[in-house]
Amino acid sequence: MTTSADYSEKIPNNVSLHEDRRLQRALESWQPNFLDWWQTMGPALPTQDVYLRTAVNVGREGWAQFGHVAMPEYRWGIFLAERDPGRRVGFGEHKGEPVWDKVPGEYRADLLRLIVVQGDTEPASVEQQRNLGATAPSLYDLRNLFQVNVEEGRHLWAMVYLLHAYFGREGREEAEELLHRNSGSADAPRILGAFNEETPDWLSFFMFTYFTDRDGKYQLGTLKESAFDPLSRTCEFMLKEEAHHMMVGTTGVDRVVERTAQLMAEHETDEVAALGAISLPVIQKYLNFHYSVSLDLFGGETSTNVANYYTAGLKGRWSEDRRQDDHQLTDDSMMVDALVDGADGGQSIGELEVPALTGLNTDLRRQYINDCRGGVNRWNKILADAGLPQRLSLPHIAFNRKVGAFAGIEASPEGEQLTAEAWRRRQGEWLPTDVDKTHVRSLMRPVHERGKIAAWIAPPRNGINGRPFDYDYVHLA
């Protein structure tokens, strides 16, 4: 057996990598850099092995295997969903034409940009979560953190494969850059705002996996519609893994709320901080923060970029095939959230009618917001079931925005426009203050013993892959 044949087994793939020696060599030279990055920027807590799911195929049955794996030896593979030979472009000016197996010259720059932005978020989130292992509330949670991390690593591989396979030298250079930019770096930050924020504690982690990973779900859902078939097929498979990340966020926040509600009901008090838990107002502030920075990830309420992506067939809408329209939208309009001019010469928060194509970021953001409501309803049901009158809520769309129509104004969670002075004075009521963050961090003491859990969070209802909660999910080094 030659070295390259061995190597093709080292990168599990369903793209016949062994048939393209040049591509194989290119990925071969990127792999050690990825592993260096994983060692220096990936999970910091030393472990022997972790009970992980590894993608091994894309079929309906048995696409993943579970087992204890030493993390640096995780098999980051390249998997594209199965090809549909009859697939046609579903929207835009090429609607009805066969999808593309190569990158059309005129769309090269835009496709490269979209793939680089998507790729940039994956290692960014691993960097953000690097130190969380040291304070995990249980081995079950620790395992889930690492599962999310290795899969974000695989999603980076997915984008790097596209860059190497379809964008020549420029793609290879961009793949290198994906390992050089770092979350929060002053010199070379990650591209999108939310990915330069800290994830310093587990409440942030659960909020991040609920709200920010959910942006991932929606963006991948639009790229899955792409006329560039390899991108579409990659995203389709990534979405499969993303479901676990959603579960981690949803049930993570569930369990924090459950524990808080339990203590509130038991002790008939709202002041659960003294009881070693996180109070509802602080949970609400974390929710406000993560939701609002995630809303920014959808770009401006109106955008010519998104209109061009759609018309060209690069990026579709969520559930494109279920939309009852012409899938071209050239004659349509829609209402978007906007600052509107008032009779008094001032501007207020309202809506404006714009061409439907330029409003597509708003369309996607609204799909996302509806989905986010599902989480809030769940958490409120936990509060109601505990007999408590308090409720959590999503803040107004204009609250704490740094991108888009409301970037230049300040608004309360209820959507009341505020002066800069009022915002400065009151923002601590709505966003985590240093005191809140310090308290949450003070609770983050590691529980690395089998079957044990920290006092600020309820245990999960189910373990992973049919294993019990007290399974030895992680062996620490």
Binding mask 310-329 for ligand BYC (x = CB under 6 A): -----x--------------
Task: Tell me whether residue 114 or residue 411 sits nearer to ligand BYC (CB atom).
Answer: 114
Q: How far is the CB of 375 from ligand BYC (least distance, A)?
A: 15
296 binds ligand BYC (CB under 6 A): yes
92 binds ligand BYC (CB under 6 A): no
Q: Are strands 333-341 and 410-411 parallel, antiparallel or unpaired?
A: unpaired
Site for ligand BYC in 333-362 (CB under 6 A): 361
Which of 167, 185, 183 minimizes the C-alpha distance to 175? 167
Site for ligand BYC in 43-82 (CB under 6 A): none
3-state secondary structure of 65: strand
Task: Tell me whether residue 267 or residue 402 sits nearer to ligand BYC (CB atom).
Answer: 402
Q: Which of 183, 219, 292, 358 binds ligand BYC (CB under 6 A)?
A: 219
Q: Which of 175, 227, 306, 394 binds ligand BYC (CB under 6 A)?
A: 306
Task: Tell me whether residue 160 or residue 263 sits nearer to ligand BYC (CB atom).
Answer: 160
Task: Tell me whether residue 261 or residue 336 sits nearer to ligand BYC (CB atom).
Answer: 336
Q: Please state whether 354 falls in left (phi above 0), alpha (psi between -120 and 50) or beta.
A: beta
Residue located via tokens 């969903």: 81
258 binds ligand BYC (CB under 6 A): no
Among the candidate windows 115-123, 168-176, 259-267, 386-394, which touches ligand BYC by CB under 6 A?
A: 115-123
410 binds ligand BYC (CB under 6 A): no
Rounded Cα–Cα distance for residues 265 and 244 (Å):
31
Q: H helices of 329-433, where?
A: 360-385, 420-430
Q: Which of 125, 147, 232, 284 binds ligand BYC (CB under 6 A)?
A: 125
Which of 183, 115, 108, 201 minimizes the C-alpha distance to 155? 115
Q: Which of 298, 399, 406, 469 binds ligand BYC (CB under 6 A)?
A: 298
Rounded Cα–Cα distance for residues 228 and 242 (Å):
21
Cα–Cα separations (whole angstroms), residue 107 to 114, 415, 423: 11, 39, 43
Among the candidate windows 51-59, 99-107, 121-129, 419-427, which touches ligand BYC by CB under 6 A?
A: 121-129
Considering just the CA atoms, what is the radius of gyration of the chain in Å?
A: 23
Task: Tell me whether residue 122 or residue 225 sits nearer to ligand BYC (CB atom).
Answer: 122
Q: Which of 13, 47, 303, 362 binds ligand BYC (CB under 6 A)?
A: 303
Q: How far is the CB of 296 from ligand BYC (least distance, A)?
A: 4
Rounded Cα–Cα distance for residues 364 and 368 (Å):
6
449 secondary structure, DSSP code: S
Site for ligand BYC in 149-188 (CB under 6 A): 152
Cβ burial of 320 (10 Å; 0-12, 13-18, 19+) is middle
